[in-house]
Amino acid sequence: MRRLVIGMVLAAAGCGVGAGECGPAECADICAKEAKTPAPAPAKEAPKAAPKDDGLTDFEKALLADTIASVKKGVRPYDAEGFGVCKGKGRECEGFVGADAGELPAGDYMIQARLAVPQIGGDDTWKVHFATKCETIRVGADGKETRTPRENDKEYQVRYAGPERPYRLSPLHRITSPAKGGRQECSYTLTMMRPDKEEVLKGSYSVPKAE
C-alpha cells in the first residue's frame, strides 16, 4: 500500500501538476486525466437592474405632461418685453426700452417684470430676487473722479396669474434722467429662485448728470 501511494505522488510530480504537461511513460494514464481537466468558466456579468416603474399609467402621464413641462421651465419672462426698462412714472409701461437700455434721455422711467409662473405650487413655491447696483460718478474741480456705490435688493413671491395674463412686478425700480448729484451707471438682476437651480436675468442703464 505504501508503495502505491509513493508511486502516485511520483506520477503526479512527473506530470507537472498544474502545468498540463506529462512526464515519463509510466505516468501516461495520470497525465491523460490531468490534461482533460476543463478550464474554469469565465465569471458571468451581473444582470442589469430593470428601470423602475414610476407607477403612472399612460393616461396619467399624458395628463401631467404640460404641467411637468411648465415646472421645468419655471418662472420666466412672459414675452420679449417681460423684463427691462420702460418709459413712464406710474405702474404702466408707456414704452419698452430694453434690458440693456444704454444712456437714458431726459424723462421718467422704471424697471418692470412681466412673468409667466407655473400653475402649480403654494403661495411660497415660486420666488424671485431683484437687485440693483448703481455708482454715482462725480468729477471734482481738480479733475479727479470719485464713485459712490449704492445697492438695493428685495425678494418677491410670485404666482400664476392666468393663461393669457402675466404676473406683474412694476415698478421694481424708478429712474429719473438726468440725475442730481452726478452721472449714474447702474446694473440690475432678476434671479428666479428654486431649490434645485437658479436662473438670472441681467440688465443695465446709465443716467447723465443734471446740469
DSSP class per residue in 125-170 = SEEEEEEEEEEEEEE-TTS-EEEEEEEEEEEEEE----TT--EEEE
27-54 pLDDT, tens digit per residue, is: 556 555 555 555 666 666 666 655 566 7
Does 79 reside within a domain?
Answer: yes
For the question of whether the overall pTM of this predicted structure is more than 0.85, the answer is: no
Question: What would you measure as the largest C-alpha separation in the chain, in angstroms?
Answer: 124
Domain that holds residue 88: 75-207
92-147 pLDDT, tens digit per residue, is: 999 999 999 999 999 999 999 999 999 999 888 999 999 999 999 998 888 898 99
Does 172 reside within a domain?
Answer: yes
Does 45 reside within a domain?
Answer: no
Q: How many domains does the chain have?
A: 1
